[in-house]
Amino acid sequence: MNIVVIGLSHHSAPVELRERFAFAEAKIPEALKSLRESGIAGEAVILSTCNRVEIYAATALEPVRAFAELKNFLARWGETPSSPNQNATKSGLEGLSPHQTDIRAQYSSPSPRRGEGRGEEAVGSSSDPRTSAFARLRRDQPALSPLGRGEGVEPVGSSRCDDRTAQRAVPTNIGDELYTLAEPQSLHHLFKVACGMDSMVLGETEILGQLKQAYALAHRHGHTGARLNKAFQRAFHVAKHIRTETNIQRGSVSVASVAVELAEKIFSSLNDREVLVIGAGETSEKTARALLSRGARSIIVANRSHDRAVALAKELGGRAVQFDDWAGEFEKIDIAISSTSAPHHILDRARLEPLMKTRQQRPLLLIDIAVPRDIDPEVNFLENVYLYNIDDLQAIADDSLKQRREEVARCEQIIAEKVKTLLETRSPMSLPFDLRPVPSLNKS
């Protein structure tokens, strides 16, 4: 049996399309059982996250037939009432040519494009067929309203998107949005996914945890065997090797992660540090969550809409204060994140200077992610005050992303070598047809 992959991702399809084929985690064992009982695959793993839906299958079928059957399986499963994908259209998948394969190992190194929100970096390339198809699809579709939180980014602390399926119209004829990969490209893709090299944020580590969970779920229900067990275990090993031997995961590439990095440099440790959030915006919320995950003790939220402040404080396990009272918290806090819509500075040197005296000159980190800026740059001249605005954070993130991208070629080389080694350990008859040794016609 050989390993094949079929799927769609943020490279090839918008969230409106990806969500139609997403699998609820509770339904994945049932889907895997159905897939194996159909005879399409002897082993299978389904990976379903906000940014990708992929089926990894070990099959005895020829790749062309396997891809056609897997497409039909996705269509049928999308129409199953118990599936979260009730609105997926079967005709869209059946219209695909079984010969449309995505040989992604031939793609050039990715170039960055902006992800959701400032500071969230995405990896894509205009030469990537998946990205081009995505662009065509978006041109052909009517304008959509802004998407909610978490769409377009791998969520922290969650292995999957919300199981709910939004009621949006989707294309009835998808083609390049769905990619198919046969060996050795399927193994190359699996290794790249595990290493975060196919992620929206280049080198991010969340996807490795999601991949491990997907594999563990399939393994626990008896849907993996010798082929996928070896492939996935090798993928996890390669991810660890690349993490330790290259700089693909070094540095911070988002506003939230840069803020955490700066805080840890200023305070050494975030344990027992208190954080004030002024303005309950999306990026400030992400930053607060990131600080909490690294040990910050508590979050205080001030927002013009007090109800919103109360709601966010409850989510973060903190407390809310009235917007006009936020300055009273400066005596005890260590970090302030400001993101209001005020047309003027809400904090200037004249206001902060007496507040610093009540703090006995303890270090204060100010993260100003508002545009226009909330905090007057003059406060930087005060002793023990460290101010960073959105452009400062983005510059640090861009520099880190540049360093990560410089490691892509090295990582690709490591992955290619690991794929070759994996294939060489197989018996000749288990290799893909184009990789089997040609029998000699000479007779001794």
Interior CA angle at 47 toward 45 and 53, to 5°? 125
| Tokens, residue 70 | 């897997």
Angle formed by the axes of helices 185-194 and 408-424, nearest 10°: 130
Q: Peptide bond before 129: cis, by omega within 30 degrees of 0?
A: no
CA atoms 298, 328, 312, 370: torsion sign: negative
Alpha carbon of 250 to those of 25, 242, 261: distances in Å? Answer: 31, 11, 11
Nearest to 259, CA basis, from 237, 283, 243, 238 = 283
Q: Find all residues with CB under 8 Å of 419, minimum gap 6, and list them.
A: 184, 187, 188, 191
Alpha carbon of 382 to those of 140, 331, 355, 385, 387: distances in Å? Answer: 54, 16, 11, 6, 10
On the 0-12 / 13-18 / 19+ scale of CB atoms within 10 A, 438 is exposed
- Report the length, in residues, of the chain: 444
Q: Which of 50, 161, 195, 411 is catalytic?
A: 50
Spatial separation of the C-alpha atoms in residues 318 and 273, rounded to whole Å: 13
β-partners of residue 58 are: 3, 43
Question: What distance, in Å, lies between the first and last C-alpha atoms of the chain?
Answer: 33
50 catalytic, yes or no? yes
CA atoms 198, 204, 210, 213: torsion sign: positive
**Active site residues per annotation:** 50
